[in-house]
Amino acid sequence: MLAAHAAIAVSAARQREHVEQLEEALLSSREIGMAMGVLMGRGGVSKDEAFTLLRQASQHLRRKLREVAADVVETGQLPG
C-alpha cells in the first residue's frame, strides 16, 4: 500500500514539473515573439530575419535566447 502511495506521489510530482516546464516555455515563446515584433517594427526586417538576429545575438553573447529577447523587449534594441 505504501508503494502505491509513493508511486502516485512521484507521478504527481513529475506531472507538476512538466506543467511548470510548459508554462515557462510558453512565457519564453511569448517574450521571443514580442522581441521579434520589436525588431520587425524598428528594423524593417522579416519574421525570419528577426528570429535569426535574436539567435545570433544569443550565440554571440552566450546567453539564453529568452534572456536576449527580454532585453530587446525592455530596451527596443539588440544587446551587445
* Domain annotation covers residue 69: yes
* Domain annotation covers residue 23: yes
Residue 9 is predicted with a pLDDT of: 79
Among residues of the chain, what percentage have pLDDT more than 70? 100
Q: Are 35 and 73 in contact (CB under 8 A)?
A: yes
Query: 3-state DSSP helix/strand/coil percent for the chain, to nearest 5?
Result: 85, 0, 15
* Domain annotation covers residue 7: yes
CATH classification at residue 70: 1.10.10.10
* Domain annotation covers residue 54: yes
pLDDT digits (tens, 9 = 90+) for 1-31: 777 777 787 788 888 887 888 888 888 899 9
Domain of residue 20: give its range: 2-75
pTM over 0.85: no
